[in-house]
Chain A
Amino acid sequence: MLYIVDRRKNPTGKSLGNRQRFMRRAKAQIKKAVEESIRTRGITDINNGDQVIIPGKTLKEPGFHHARRGGNRDYVLPGNKKFVQGDRVARPNEDGGGAGGSKASPDGDGEDEFQFTLTRDEFLDIFFEDLELPDLLKKSLKQTTAFRNARAGFSVQGTPANLSLVRTMRNSLARRIGLRRPKTAEIRDLEDQITALQEKANKRPSGKLTKPDDEKLHALLADLENAKRRMKSIPFIDPIDTRYNQFQQIPDPNTQAVMFCLMDVSGSMSEQMKELGKRFFMLLHLFLHRRYEHVDVVFIRHTSRASEVDEETFFYSRETGGTIVSTALEEMKKVLKDRYPTDQWNIYAAQASDGDNYSNDGAKCTALLAEDLLPKCQYYAYIEITDEREAEIFAAAEGETALWKSYAPLAAVNPRFSLKRVTKAADIFPVFRELFAKNRAEAKT
Chain B
Amino acid sequence: MSTSSHSKNTSTPKTTEPASKLLFNGADWDFDTLKNTYDAIEDIALNELKLDVYANQVEVITSEQMLDAYSSIGMPLMYHHWSFGKRFVRDDVMYRKGYQGLAYEIVINSNPCISYVMEENTIVMQALVMAHAAFGHNHFFKNNYLFKQWTDADGILDYLQFAKRYIAKCEDRYGFDAVERVLDAAHALMEQGVNRYSHPEKPNLAVELERERERAKYEDETYNDLWRTLPQTDTDDQDVDEIQRKMRIEERRAQFGLPEENLLYFLEKNTPAMQLWEREILRIVRNIGQYFYPQKQTKVMNEGCACYVHYSIMNSLYDKGLVSEGAMMEFIDSHSRVVFQAEFDDQRYSGFNPYALGFAMMQDIHRMCVDPTDEDRKWFPDIAGNNEPVETLKDAWANYRDESFILQFLSPKVMRDMRMFMIDDQSASPHLEVAAIHDDNGYRRVRRSLARMHDVSVREPDMQIVDVDIRGNRQLYVQHTEHEGIRLEKAEAEMTLGYIGQLWGYGVTLQAIDYKTGEILHETNYTPDDLSAA
* Contacts from A to B (Cβ < 8 Å): 1-8, 10, 12-15, 17-25, 51, 59-81, 83-91, 97-100, 102-105, 114-117
Contact = CB atoms under 8 A, between A and B. Distances in A.
Contacts of A62: 188, 491-493, 495-496, 499
Interface stretch (B295-303, B371-379, B423-431, B469-477): B423-431
A64 B493 contact: yes
Contacts of A4: 31, 34-35, 38, 57-60
Contacts of A81: 345, 419
Contacts of A99: 344-345
Given A51-B93, A64-B463, A116-B92, A100 B423 contact: yes
B527 to A, nearest CB: 18
Given A8-B62, A21-B80, A72 B351 contact: no
A15 B350 contact: no
Interface in B215-263: none
A225 B442 CA distance: 96
Contacts of B56: 1-3
B42 A2 contact: yes
B238 to A, nearest CB: 38
Nearest to B350: A104
A79 B419 contact: yes
A72 B58 contact: no
B443 to A, nearest CB: 11
Central interface residue in B55, B423, B430, by most chain A CB within 10 Å: B423
Given A15-B85, A18-B85, A89-B431, A79 B346 contact: yes
B476 to A, nearest CB: 15
B35 A70 contact: no
A4 B426 CA distance: 54
A80 B119 CA distance: 41
Interface SS majority for chain A = loop
Chain B: number of interface residues, binned into ranges: 35 or more
Contacts of B484: 71-73
Nearest to B492: A62
Contact of B55 (A1, A19, A91): A1
Given A2-B56, A7-B59, A87-B433, A73 B188 contact: no
Contacts of B34: 4
A91 B430 contact: yes
Contacts of B433: 86-89
Central interface residue in A72, A80, A83, A90, by most chain B CB within 10 Å: A80
A363 to B, nearest CB: 57
B144 interface: no
Given A5-B60, A63-B190, A83 B492 contact: no
A81 to B, nearest CB: 7
Contacts of B453: 75-76, 102
A86 B93 CA distance: 45
Given A3-B58, A72-B427, A63 B68 contact: no
B90 interface: yes
B533 interface: no
13 contacts: A4-B31, A4-B38, A13-B64, A19-B89, A60-B495, A61-B184, A63-B191, A69-B427, A70-B427, A75-B449, A76-B420, A89-B431, A117-B93
Contacts of A65: 460-461, 488-489, 492-493
Pairs A-B, 4 closest by C-beta atoms: A79-B343, A22-B85, A71-B486, A18-B85
B86 A73 contact: no
A66 B461 contact: yes
A412 B515 CA distance: 76
Central interface residue in A8, A62, A117, by most chain B CB within 10 Å: A62
Interface of B: 31, 34-35, 38-39, 42, 55-62, 64-65, 67-69, 71-72, 80-86, 88-90, 92-93, 96, 112, 116, 119, 176, 180, 184, 187-192, 341-347, 349-352, 418-428, 430-439, 441-442, 446, 449-450, 452-453, 459-461, 463, 480, 482-493, 495-496, 499
B421 A80 contact: yes
Contact of B192 (A18, A64, A71, A80): A64
A51 B96 CA distance: 12
Contact of B345 (A21, A51, A79, A91): A79
B64 A12 contact: yes
Contacts of A80: 344, 419-421, 437-438
B426 A72 contact: yes
Contacts of B65: 7-8, 10, 12, 14
Nearest to A118: B89
A102 B428 CA distance: 18
Given A10-B65, A18-B84, A114-B86, A70 B437 contact: no
A72 B439 contact: no
B422 A75 contact: yes
Contact of A70 (B60, B421, B441, B485): B485
Nearest to B422: A76
A8 B81 contact: no
Contact of A73 (B31, B82, B85, B425): B425
A98 B344 contact: yes
Nearest to B84: A18
B351 A17 contact: no
